[in-house]
Amino acid sequence: MDLQALTKEVICLTKVVGEFIRGESKIFDRERIEYKGLHDMVSYVDKTAERDLVKGLTSILPEAGFITEEETSTVLSESYNWIIDPLDGTTNFIHGIPSFCISIALQYKAELVLGVVYEINRDECFSAWQNGGAYLNGMRISVSNAPAVENTLLATGFPFYEFSKMEKYLRVLRTLMQKCHGLRRIGSAALDLAYVACGRFDGYFEYNLNSYDIAAGMVLVREAGGQTFDFNGGNDCFERREIVATNGRISSELLESIKKEFN
């Protein structure tokens, strides 16, 4: 399969759907919010965008199945599956904060082989494919060269449910706040990972995540020269629903701070 050509088709599709989301963001009415769970919101924009993405991706690769956030398609394939978040940063979107994106990954069996993250309002499209490098609007990107946590700007995400790990998480924050240049919380895991890939962030960690939150971003980070782990330092990010992403130089130090509290 020509993953580079496939990535170009996916980029074109995300920009079309992104234009729809951008337009709706200007007129969105909060009264149309639906709740999937505690603080877990969705809207017709998420659902419409996902249906359009599923339709477009089916045309691009008919044999592939889907893992989708809003479950507009639940058909799985034994080989290729698209992993889709049609609007990562829904809470930002609903509140008029312009940091949200489309996230699309392609998985072949257990291996992630393609990732596209489109930050809609900045018109920044991050893309990567297996052994092809990572790109921002067609220009090659790479992770930062920060050598230690004391030289870094880190990103994280605050849990909005499953608060049983809150105290552990707060202890990690307390430790890292005293070591690094700062901690940021954008509100989109896909963007956090894209920003690690292009060197804006040097590292990122979060728990309570789903595959569609992080799959595309994981491809970006790895192809940009970075690393991704679960909180144990392993590769079970999907199963454990957690991730640590770094530029590869601060991995041991960042993992040490997290392992100290979570393991």
CATH number for position 184? 3.40.190.80
| pLDDT higher than threshold 80 for residue 161 | no
Q: Grade residue 256 by pLDDT with cuts at 50, 70 and 90.
A: very high
Please compute the mean of the pLDDT values over residues 89-100 and round it to a whole number: 93
Last residue of a domain, one of 102, 123, 141: 141
Residue 39 in this model has a pLDDT that exceeds 70:
no
Q: Is residue 147's pLDDT more than 70?
A: yes
Q: Are residues 155 and 249 in the same domain?
A: yes
Q: Which of 27-41, 116-130, 150-164, 213-227 bottoms out in mean pLDDT, i.e. has the lowest?
A: 27-41
Cβ atoms < 10 Å from Cβ of 132 = 15
Q: Kindly state whether residues 117 and 53 are assigned to the same domain.
A: yes
Look at residue 260 and tell me whether its pLDDT is greater than 60: yes
What is the identity of the amino acid at 68? T
Q: What is the count of structural domains for the chain? A: 2
The pLDDT tens digits for 184-206 are: 999 999 999 999 999 999 999 99
Query: Which amino acid would we find at residue 205?
Result: F
pLDDT of residue 38: 55
Q: Which residues contact 136 (CB under 8 A, 6 or more apart)?
A: 124, 125, 126, 198
Same domain, 129 and 161: no
Cα–Cα distance, 191 to 250 (Å, whole number) = 20
Instruction: Mark whether 127 and 216 lie in a shared domain.
Output: no
Domain termination site, one of 141, 157, 184: 141
Helical spans, DSSP H, in 107-182: 166-177
On whether both 136 and 10 belong to a single domain, the answer is yes
Q: How is residue 108 written in tokens?
A: 């072949």
85 is in an annotated binding site: yes
Q: Report whether 29 belongs to an annotated binding site.
A: no
Residues 252 and 180 in one domain: yes
CA 205 – CA 168 distance, rounded (Å): 13
Residue 104: band (very low, low, confident or very high) from pLDDT cuts 50, 70, 90:
very high
**pLDDT single digits (tens) 43-61:** 888 899 999 999 999 999 9
pLDDT band for position 1 (50/70/90)? confident
Helix (H, G, I), strand (E, B) or coil at 144: coil
Asked if residue 180 and residue 117 are part of one domain, the reply reads no
Q: How far apart are the first and last CA of the chain?
A: 40
- Mean of per-residue pLDDT scores for the chain: 93
Instruction: Identify the band that residue 70 occupies on the pLDDT scale cut at 50, 70 and 90.
Output: confident
Assess whether 165 and 126 both reside in one domain: no
Q: What mean pLDDT is predicted for residues 105-118? A: 97
233 and 179 part of one domain: yes
Indicate the DSSP class of residue 132.
T
Which stretches of the chain are DSSP H helices? 3-25, 44-60, 90-94, 166-177, 189-197, 211-223, 237-240, 251-262
110-125 average pLDDT score: 97
Structure tokens at 220: 């970006």
Query: Is 70 exceeded by the pLDDT of residue 132?
Result: yes
The residues, ordered by sequence, that sit 6+ positions from 38 with a Cβ below 8 Å of its Cβ are 160, 161
* Domain span including residue 101: 3-141
Structural domain ending residue among the three candidates 114, 141, 168? 141
- Predicted confidence at residue 140, as pLDDT, reads 98
Say if residue 239 carries a ligand binding annotation: no
Question: Please, which pLDDT band fits residue 29 given cuts at 50, 70 and 90?
Answer: confident
Tokens, residue 218: 């994981």
Q: Read off the tokens for 247.
A: 């530029």
Q: Which of 195, 181, 139, 166 is nearest to 261 (CA)?
A: 166
- Residues 183 and 239 occupy one common structural domain: yes
Kindly state whether residues 135 and 155 are assigned to the same domain.
Answer: no
| Percent of the residues in the chain that have a pLDDT greater than 70, as a whole number | 97
Residues 30, 103, single domain; the answer is yes
Note the pTM of the prediction, 2 decimals.
0.95
Q: Is residue 221 classed as helix, strand or coil in its secondary structure?
A: helix
Summarize the confidence of residues 119-142 as an average pLDDT: 98
Question: Is 40 one of the annotated binding-site residues?
Answer: no
pLDDT score, position 35: 65
Query: Residue 41 has which token pair?
Result: 């919101």
